[in-house]
Amino acid sequence: MIYVYSSLICILLVSSSTIGIISESYVDDTPIIAIYNGSGSWNISVIAFESFLDWKGIDWVEIDEEDINNGDLDGYQAIYFPGGWAGTYVDSISSEGFEDIRRSIEEGVSYIGICAGAYLAADKVVFENVTYNYPLKIFNGIAYGSLHSITPWDNYTMTLLDINKSNPINMYESSTEWMLYYGGPYFQSYDQDIDVLATWRGYYDKPAIVSFKYGDGRVVLIGSHPEIEEDSFRDGSVFADEYDDNGSDWYLLWTLVDWVIYGEVTKPPQLDISIDKPKSGYLYFLDRELFYMGETIIFGGINIEVMIENYSYYEIENVTFYIDDEIRYIDDSLPYSWFYNDKGFKSHMIRVTVRSVDGRIVDDSETLWMMNLMG
């Protein structure tokens, strides 16, 4: 059975160069990602990636082993296999189904596999010292797991990845990222031309995320779980929320999905804040804007108002208002404003900061003259 949703997907992506019309609400050039949510899939990994795709604004469709075995893969730009249990994927999908996936990738569909979806792509899997031959065989190499120096299976923990900044896919990334580890592999290629996007700091700097071309398709294999937001519910789950995410991994996923679908990356939306009132250089009297003077002058009190750019992409924790670097007010709900009414005749620096739940902080400041007899 196929379920159609109007935004994102979970952990194994397959992307095609053309898209058929799924319903009247879709247009031909709308990217659609097929998300595997069948036998062996981990529901939390599916929901988290669907939440990410909703956030990014990409349409997705859920498929299962029946759809794959029936050859119902036409019309997608990408197929995604989530975390879960790769052995069950192998048992549930027929040899004809795997051949259809492989043919689709060769013809231009792209593939993203996270954890179990990454194991699935390999020629061989060595898991807990047992070797398995896997049938999909789009990665000419071995996926090794679990990585006991990070944490033994079946525990999970946060771990540090070193990001390859020289690769264009990572051009907007920081040099390191903390991510959730839950039994994923490192990748060893036999002779395939691959790009290593990130390595495991906690496991001998072995490849943690790799990308490569397979025929006309693009493939990304991810050993960690960047789809899961450990200290936020925006991924639709409370799994591992006892950990601090130390910043969201969704911005890495943003560029990975860009490359998978479009072959190039765009800059993830940046959180920003600006002081919307008072406007710089204007005269205000009793909270009313009069005219431009070249300097910001306030007679009486004024309601300080802010504008937050790309607000819809972030969970806002609070906005803090400062006067001369002293915290005067913290607002944790819309419309994020504060009435400033200090008595005196003096120049002051007002500064506002916005903090997102994932730890991003940006600010803006402005100098004004406050002339207020009453206070």
pLDDT (tens, 9 = 90+) of the chain, 375 residues, equals 443 333 333 333 333 332 222 222 333 455 699 999 999 999 999 999 999 999 999 999 999 999 999 998 888 999 999 999 999 999 999 999 999 999 999 999 999 999 999 999 999 999 999 999 999 999 999 999 999 999 999 999 999 999 999 999 999 999 999 999 999 999 999 999 999 999 999 999 999 999 999 999 999 999 999 999 997 888 999 999 999 888 889 999 999 999 999 888 999 998 999 999 999 999 999 999 999 999 999 999 999 999 999 888 888 999 999 999 999 999 999 999 999 999 999 999 999 999 988 788 999 999 999 999 876
Q: Which CATH class is domain 3-262?
A: alpha beta
**pLDDT computed for residue 29 by the predictor:** 54
**CA–CA distance, 63 with 285 (Å, rounded to integer):** 61
**CA–CA distance, 373 with 375 (Å, rounded to integer):** 6
**pLDDT computed for residue 244 by the predictor:** 85
Classify residue 23 as exposed, middle or buried by CB count within 10 Å of its CB (0-12, 13-18, 19+). Answer: exposed
Q: Which residues pair with 53 in a beta bridge?
A: none
Q: Where are the alpha helices (DSSP H) in 224-312?
A: 250-262
**pLDDT computed for residue 342 by the predictor:** 93
**CA–CA distance, 147 with 183 (Å, rounded to integer):** 7
Tell me the residue type at 207: P
Report the helix count and the strand count for the chain, using DSSP H and E.
6, 25
Same fold, 3-262 and 272-372: no
Where exactly are the structural domains of the chain? 3-262, 272-372
**pLDDT computed for residue 246 by the predictor:** 81
Measuring CA to CA, how many Å separate 95 from each of 11, 88, 92, 234, 273? 21, 14, 10, 37, 53
User: Which DSSP symbol is given to 119?
Assistant: H
66-86 tens-digit pLDDT: 999 999 888 899 999 999 999
| HEC per residue, 135-169 | CCCCEEEEEEECCCCCCCCCCCEEEEEEECCCCHH
Identify the CA nearest to 373 among candidates 347, 348, 343.
343
Say how far residue 69 (Cα) sits from the centre of its chain.
30
Q: What is the CATH number of domain 272-372?
A: 2.60.40.10
Are residues 253 and 262 in contact, defined by beta-carbon separation less than 8 angstroms? no
209-219 tens-digit pLDDT: 999 999 999 99
Q: Where are the alpha helices (DSSP H) in 43-141?
A: 43-56, 65-69, 86-92, 95-106, 116-121
3-state secondary structure of 294: coil
**pLDDT computed for residue 313 by the predictor:** 85
